[in-house]
Copies of this chain bind each other. A is one copy, B any other.
Amino acid sequence: MRTAELNAQHNKLIWFIALPILSADLYSSVSYGPESGMTELMKLGPDAKWYIIPITISTVVLLFILIVSYIMGVLAYPNGGGAYAIAKDNFKPRWVSLVASSSLLVDYILTVAVSVSAALEAVSSAYPAVAPYETVLAIFCVFVLLVVNLRGVAESAKIFAWPTIGFMGCMLLLIFTGFFDEFQHGFVQHSTPSFGTVPQGLSVLLILKAFSSACSALTGIETISNAVPIFREPQQKNAIKTYIALGVITSVTLLGFAYHLYVKGIAPNPHNTMLSQLTESYFGHGILYQIIIWFTFVVLILAANSTFTGFSQLAAIVAADGFLPRGLTMRGDRLGYSNGIIALAATASILIIAFQAHTNALIPLYAIGVFLSFSIAQFGLIRRWKRVKGPNWRVKLAINTVGAFVTSIVAVIFAFTKFTSGAWVVLIVIPILIIFSLAINRHYRAVADELRIDLSTFRPKANKVITVVLVSGTHRVVHNTLSFAKGVSEDLIAVYVGFDDQSIHRMEEKWEEWGNPCRLVVLKSKYRSILEPLTRFIHLLEEKQPKSNIQVIIPQFIPKKWWHNLLHNQTALLLRMWLLRNKDVVITTVPYHLRK
A interface residue numbers (CB < 8 A to B): 1-4, 325-327, 330-331, 333, 440, 443-444, 446-447, 450-453, 455-456, 458-465, 467, 474-479, 482-484, 486-489, 499-500, 510, 513-515, 517, 526-529, 549, 551, 556, 558, 564, 566-571, 576, 580-581, 584-591, 593-596
Which residues of B sit under 8 angstroms from A444, Cβ to Cβ? 567
Q: Tell me if B453 and A475 are in contact (CB < 8 A).
A: yes
Q: Tell me if A593 and B588 are in contact (CB < 8 A).
A: no
Residue of B nearest to A456 (CB): B513
Q: Tell me if B452 and A475 are in contact (CB < 8 A).
A: yes
Q: Tell me if A596 and B333 are in contact (CB < 8 A).
A: no
Residue of B nearest to A324 (CB): B567
Shortest Cβ gap from A503 to chain B (Å): 12
Contact partner of A517 among B460, B479, B487, B576, CB < 8 A?
B460
CB-CB nearest 3 A-B residue pairs:
A462-B486, A460-B482, A465-B487
List, sorted by A's number, 29 A–B pairs whose CB atoms are closer than 8 Å. A2-B526, A3-B526, A326-B568, A330-B569, A331-B528, A443-B567, A444-B567, A447-B594, A450-B476, A450-B594, A450-B596, A455-B474, A456-B515, A458-B476, A458-B479, A459-B514, A460-B478, A460-B482, A460-B517, A461-B486, A462-B486, A462-B487, A463-B486, A464-B487, A465-B484, A484-B586, A576-B589, A584-B593, A585-B591
Q: Tell me if B587 and A589 are in contact (CB < 8 A).
A: yes
Residue of B nearest to A579 (CB): B591
Q: Tell me if A455 and B586 are in contact (CB < 8 A).
A: no
A327-B566, A450-B596, A514-B459 known; A551+B588 contact, CB < 8 A: yes
Which of A4, A558, A567 has the most C-beta atoms of chain B within 10 angstroms of its own C-beta? A567
Which residues of B sit under 8 angstroms from A467, Cβ to Cβ? 488
- Chain A binding surface SS class: mixed
Contact partner of A580 among B331, B589, B596, CB < 8 A?
B589
Contact partner of A484 among B478, B483, B529, B549, CB < 8 A?
B549
Residue of B nearest to A331 (CB): B528
Shortest Cβ gap from A561 to chain B (Å): 9
Q: Tell me if A479 and B453 are in contact (CB < 8 A).
A: yes
**Beyond A461-B483, A488-B488, 19 additional pairs, beta carbon < 8 A:** A2-B526, A3-B500, A325-B566, A446-B596, A447-B594, A456-B515, A458-B479, A459-B514, A461-B486, A462-B483, A463-B486, A465-B487, A484-B549, A484-B586, A551-B588, A558-B580, A586-B588, A587-B591, A588-B589
Q: Tell me if A459 and B499 are in contact (CB < 8 A).
A: no
Q: Tell me if B475 and A460 are in contact (CB < 8 A).
A: no
Q: Tell me if B475 and A487 are in contact (CB < 8 A).
A: no
Report the bound CA distance from A333 to B530 in whole Å: 11
Q: Tell me if B2 and A527 are in contact (CB < 8 A).
A: yes
Shortest Cβ gap from A576 to chain B (Å): 8
Which residues of B sit under 8 angstroms from A510, Cβ to Cβ? 455
Shortest Cβ gap from A440 to chain B (Å): 6
A567-B443, A586-B590 known; A453+B476 contact, CB < 8 A: yes
Q: Tell me if A584 and B591 are in contact (CB < 8 A).
A: yes
Shortest Cβ gap from A461 to chain B (Å): 6
Q: Tell me if A443 and B584 are in contact (CB < 8 A).
A: no
Shortest Cβ gap from A417 to chain B (Å): 36
Shortest Cβ gap from A496 to chain B (Å): 15
